[in-house]
């Protein structure tokens, strides 16, 4: 068994800031990171060598609701080891579901070119390259700081992806490399209305990049509309547009995408929690 005293020390320091199950999960995560050993190995050891000062620093940051992914600078997500910083969003399980949906919709020999808009850490673009290894994959983001991390993640995960700086809302300054057709356009753009901030967790509001999360209450579909209009002229016949969306605006988002792509078959799909979460539009 692992040393009960260290495990107990960690969970006791987190019990007032996190639910019991979350505190236990964080305790194992911390132990694995600080020892470089897996949970299976740790459970067989009686003694664990940990720098107490380093441990206390991690606990203090967690008590201030800093995400553990930022504390350790990386996360394991959907089979990828991704470098992270507050310049990029922490990838969520729902985004991994989006990738799986696309893989179910398209075979490898149908997809030769992929565009990920709002790439952030590069998780979607790299995930797409792993799913469609022969395809050319391009990721766009307005933030050069995010793109630096995305490029590091591509190298880190042995994925040949091109990353470009581009504000998808500024169509007058698109790079020349966007003047082409794509088989697949995919995006998880900002979609949380400003008024929804009151319902969100402190660790998200105080640490994750606001520009990658929020849109004005007056135009919550801002990015979806621009990307759908772009897709209307940049998707190949039989091409696919895939979105992760705000669960509160499922039908509205579907209707808007359909208006931009009148000849497409547009589907509104739910995530594993039963929430409206994805739009898949196929150009017929």
Q: State pLDDT tens for residues 12-44.
A: 999 999 999 999 999 999 999 999 998 888 887
Give domain status of residue 69, yes or no: no
Give domain status of residue 55, yes or no: yes
Is the pLDDT confidence value at 71 over 50? yes
Among candidate residues 15, 32, 64, the one where a domain is terminated: 64
Average pLDDT of the segment spanning 271-276: 97
Q: State pLDDT tens for residues 214-236.
A: 988 899 999 999 999 999 999 99
Q: Identify the pLDDT of residue 1.
A: 44
Same domain, 157 and 264: yes
Same domain, 41 and 123: no
Same domain, 26 and 139: no
Is the pLDDT confidence value at 62 over 60? yes
Q: State pLDDT tens for residues 235-273.
A: 999 999 999 999 999 999 999 999 999 999 999 999 999
Q: State pLDDT tens for residues 182-200.
A: 999 999 999 988 888 888 8
Selection from 159, 162, 170 nearest residue 132 by Cα? 159
How many independent structural domains does the chain possess?
2
**Which has more pLDDT, 212 or 180?**
180
Q: State pLDDT tens for residues 78-124.
A: 999 999 999 999 999 999 999 999 999 999 999 999 999 999 999 99
Same domain, 54 and 109: no
Q: Identify the pLDDT of residue 251.
A: 98
- The confidence band for 284, taking pLDDT boundaries of 50, 70 and 90, is confident
- The pTM of this model reads 0.94
Give domain status of residue 279, yes or no: yes
Q: State pLDDT tens for residues 38-53.
A: 888 888 777 788 899 9
For every residue of 13-72, DSSP letters joined together read HHTTTS-HHHHHHHHHHHHHHHH---HHHHTT-S-----HHHHHHHHHHHHTT--HHHHH
Q: Identify the pLDDT of residue 3.
A: 67
Selection from 183, 174, 144, 153 nearest residue 77 by Cα? 153
Give domain status of residue 70, yes or no: no
Which domain range does residue 27 map to? 4-64
Same domain, 112 and 243: yes
- The confidence band for 2, taking pLDDT boundaries of 50, 70 and 90, is low
Same domain, 85 and 44: no
Same domain, 50 and 85: no
Dist. CA 113–CA 182, nearest whole Å: 5
Q: In this structure, what token pair is assigned to residue 152?
A: 């590091």
Q: Where are the alpha helices (DSSP H) in 36-187?
A: 39-42, 52-63, 68-72, 93-105, 123-131, 144-156
In 64-222, DSSP assigns E strands to: 74-77, 80-83, 113-117, 136-141, 162-165, 182-187, 192-193, 214-215
């Amino acid at each position: 068994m692992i040393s009960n005293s260290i495990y107990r020390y960690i969970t006791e320091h987190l019990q007032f800031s996190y639910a019991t199950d979350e505190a236990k999960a964080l305790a194992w995560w911390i132990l694995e990171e600080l020892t470089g050993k897996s949970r299976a190995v740790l459970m067989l050891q009686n003694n664990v060598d940990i720098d107490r000062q380093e441990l206390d620093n991690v606990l203090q940051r967690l008590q201030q609701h800093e995400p553990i992914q930022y504390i350790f600078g990386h996360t394991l997500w959907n089979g990828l080891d991704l470098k992270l910083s507050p310049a990029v969003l922490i990838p969520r399980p729902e985004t991994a579901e989006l990738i799986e949906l696309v893989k179910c919709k398209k075979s490898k020999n149908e997809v030769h070119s992929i565009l990920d808009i709002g790439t952030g850490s590069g998780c979607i673009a790299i995930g797409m390259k792993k799913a469609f290894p022969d395809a050319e994959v391009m990721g766009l983001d307005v933030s050069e700081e995010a793109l630096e991390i995305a490029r590091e993640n591509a190298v880190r995960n042995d994925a040949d992806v091109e990353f470009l700086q581009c504000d998808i809302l500024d169509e007058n300054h698109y790079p020349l490399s966007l003047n082409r057709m794509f088989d697949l356009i995919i995006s998880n753009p900002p979609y949380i209305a400003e008024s929804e901030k009151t319902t969100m967790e402190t660790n998200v509001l105080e640490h994750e990049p606001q520009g990658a999360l929020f849109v004005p209450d007056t135009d919550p579909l801002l990015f979806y509309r621009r990307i759908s209009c772009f897709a209307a002229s940049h998707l190949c016949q039989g091409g696919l547009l895939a979105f992760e969306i705000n669960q509160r605006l499922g039908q509205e988002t579907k209707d808007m995408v359909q208006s931009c792509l009148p000849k497409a078959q547009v589907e509104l799909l739910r995530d594993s929690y039963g929430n409206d979460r994805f739009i898949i539009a196929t150009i017929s």
